[in-house]
Amino acid sequence: MFKFVSAAPPESVHVLRDPSSGLDGVIVLHSTRRGPAAGGCRLWSYSSSTEAAKDAARLAEGMAYKNALADLPLGGGKAVLRLPPGPFDRRSLFQAFGREVAKLQGSYVTAEDVGTTVSDMQIASGTCRHVAGLTAVQGRPGGDPSPWTALGVFISMQEAVRRKFGADLKGMTVAVQGLGSVGSHLCGLLHGAGVKLVVAEPRSDVVARVACRYEATIVGLDAILDTKCEIFAPCALGAVIDEHAVKRLRARIVCGGANNVLATDEDGYRLADRGVLYAPDYVVNAGGIINVAAEYLGWNTEEAEMRVRQTGQRLTDVLDFADRKGLASHHAANDLARQRITASQPGWKMEVV
Ligand code: NAD
């Protein structure tokens, strides 16, 4: 297998400082070749501004790849805000954040991410119009993106089992790690398709409810990796597939909603070397960003759903490319995304309705 070494430098970095509201962060635009750089706003505790900027650069690059492979007319960017050390006024913080996003004149589109909520984005939208992930308006895309993310993952699983086993999902066993918004929606879809579910989740009320509803077997948080199953679906944390996990895993396919599933690039090669089909995370979990894009670009729900339903074909394209070039799937996804970004013509016009 060839090895992949990251990464292109970002197009621009914008430092955000507003001492009166406590705003301290950065917006990184990795690429605007395909369109406005879209990616959420993370509010998290960082030990230094450098740590925050590094994380933003990594996440912005990931968004550029995800948006390119989802065929969205969007580039990739990310805002990372440092969580103020003491009490702070959330309204002032997100108003100040909105003003900073507005200064970028539509080259960056924000939305919620880890540590931020729909209501934070509603506040930011009071000072800036380049905000998505707002409360859904009747009959239009918007609101909670997780059902769309789950649908894209489900369709990708159908594609992956066809490819790996020449079969459909009925009768297969899927081990789902994490029953939050994406994991529980995914369990509903899998149950409907006749799949046997094994689940792990630290919240006992949630795991009991899902197990009851979808006839799932509950296992401990650590035991989910050793579960005898065809598919392992990480829907909680990142970096769950590391060297140790690859050795324990009994599944033949890894396909889930979580971001940054591979602890390191090496782990993608380890999976490939063991014959495990890894469905690259940002290819299969793009349903959420498709919903956000639809909201921002003014597409209707049918258009959004049609695009989410194409996720399986997009996975096939990546896996075919990997086979043709003799690459591990995560490497193939990165290469294809870079090709798409490089091939796009800069000079887009915003199509905001
Ligand atoms: P969530 O916070 O609603 O769910 C995460 C769940 O994982 C929680 O129920 C939590 O209790 C559980 N969990 C925590 N530690 C666990 C452990 N050790 N083992 C098993 N379960 C554990 O988040 P979500 O919105 O469902 O997103 C899940 C993942 O998918 C995240 O990695 C997120 O970044 C990614 N993702 C989500 C979306 C979306 O539309 N929500 C889109 C793309 C990617």
pLDDT digits 0-9 by tens, 206-242: 999 999 999 999 999 999 999 999 999 999 988 999 9
Residues in contact with ligand 1 (CB, 6 Å cut-off): 145-146, 149, 177-183, 200-203, 206, 221, 235-238, 257-259, 285, 288
Catalytic residue among 3, 66, 78, 164: 78
Q: From the alpha carbon of 149, which atom of ligand 1 is closest?
A: 40
Query: What number is the average pLDDT over the span 61-76?
Result: 97
pLDDT at position 3: 37
Q: In the chain, which ranges are continuous DSSP H helix?
A: 49-69, 90-103, 118-124, 146-165, 181-192, 204-214, 243-248, 265-273, 281-284, 287-297, 301-309, 311-325, 329-343
pLDDT at position 143: 83
pLDDT digits 0-9 by tens, 292-342: 999 999 999 999 999 999 999 999 999 999 999 999 999 999 999 999 999
Q: Nearest-CA neighbor of 72 among 106, 121, 39, 118?
A: 39
DSSP 74-116: -EEEEEEEEPPSS---HHHHHHHHHHHHHHTTTSEEB-B-TT-
pLDDT at position 27: 98
Q: Is 18 exposed, middle or buried (0-12, 13-18, 19+ CB in 10 A)?
A: middle
pLDDT digits 0-9 by tens, 95-151: 999 999 999 999 999 999 989 999 999 999 999 999 998 988 877 888 888 999 999
pLDDT digits 0-9 by tens, 262-292: 999 999 999 999 999 999 999 999 999 999 9
pLDDT at position 135: 87
Q: Determine how many CB atoms are found less than 10 A away from the CB of residue 271.
A: 24
pLDDT at position 12: 96
pTM of the model as a whole: 0.92
Instruction: Tell which wins on pLDDT, 111 or 4.
Output: 111
